Structure 1
Amino acid sequence: MLRDEDRIFTNLYNDFGSDVDSSQKRGDWKDTKEIISKGKEWIINEIKLSELRGRGGAGFPTGLKWSFFSQRDWFQTTLSCNKR
């Protein structure tokens, strides 16, 4: 059986709230500070290694797209989110 800590979607049906405080209580943000401290180059390289691609039809590599953003001064103020 899948352990709770191995689940990607821990709040799929929004049973436990979707606000930041609820997410933090569930531990959804537990490694975020550590990941950010590794720097944008490390993060982008991890995305490239994952071979994650966009869903816009062309399947453009996400790591490559993010590398374009990282060359701008506003990279640190950019947040990319998907929500229905």
Structure 2
Amino acid sequence: MPELIVTKDIDVPGIDKLDVYRQYGGYEALAKALNDFEPDGLVDMIKTSGLRGRGGAGFPTGMKWGFLAKNNMPRFLCCNADESEPGTCKDRIIMERIPHRLVEGVIITSFACRVTTAFIYVRGELALAGRQVEKAVEEAYAAGLIGKNILGSEYSLD
């Protein structure tokens, strides 16, 4: 049976709160990314890992990240949490139950892709998911996990 990564700890009571998420290793991957990698090295590691997207095509994540031009143009990340494919419910549970996992992933992706502004789109019909993600973003900002000089690094993201 494959190891659970994205949904690991999803049933822990209170895991939607920053303090509980961090007790279970939350944002350790972000700290490792910021401290141990340059953006290009992180992209290479993701390519080597074989990580794939959760959409129907399962597109290789590192390949997608590698398509970005190597220039200093402003970059934006849009996390599409619309979940509009017929019969799908793979993202909603993450947003509702462990939203910091999504937020941490957005921050790491933004760092790897040299993004300075990120957006998370949540479809209006997913009201609880939207509220949970919004609370997670607010908690992350308050803790210095989003904003200027994240975790004391040179990297900043809004």
TM-score exceeds 0.5: yes
CA drift at 1:18 = 1.0
Q: Deviations over 1:43-82 (max 9, x none)?
A: 111110011222433332210111234745323335587x
Higher strand share: 2
Q: Secondary structure at the match of 1:73?
A: coil
How many residue pairs get aligned? The number is 77
| Residue identity (%) | 30
Classify 1:20/1:51 alpha carbon distance in 2 versus 1 (closer, same or farther; 3 Å).
same
Alpha carbon RMSD of aligned pairs, Å? 3.2
Cα distance in 1 for residues equivalent to 2:44 and 2:56: 23
Classify 1:70/1:20 alpha carbon distance in 2 versus 1 (closer, same or farther; 3 Å).
farther
* 1:68 and 2:107 aligned: no
- Partner residue of 1:44? 43
What is the TM-score with the length of structure 1 in the denominator? 0.61
Flag the structure with more relative contact order, 1 or 2, with Cα contacts below 8 A and sequence separation at least 6. 2
CA drift at 1:42 = 1.1
Letter in 2 for 1:44: V
What is the TM-score with the length of structure 2 in the denominator? 0.37
- Stretches of structure 1 that go unaligned for 5 or more consecutive residues are 1-5
Q: Deviations over 1:6-47 (max 9, x none)?
A: 9741x2214133122221233222342232231111111111
Of 20, 23, 29, which aligns to 2:21?
Answer: 23
Classify 1:70/1:76 alpha carbon distance in 2 versus 1 (closer, same or farther; 3 Å).
farther
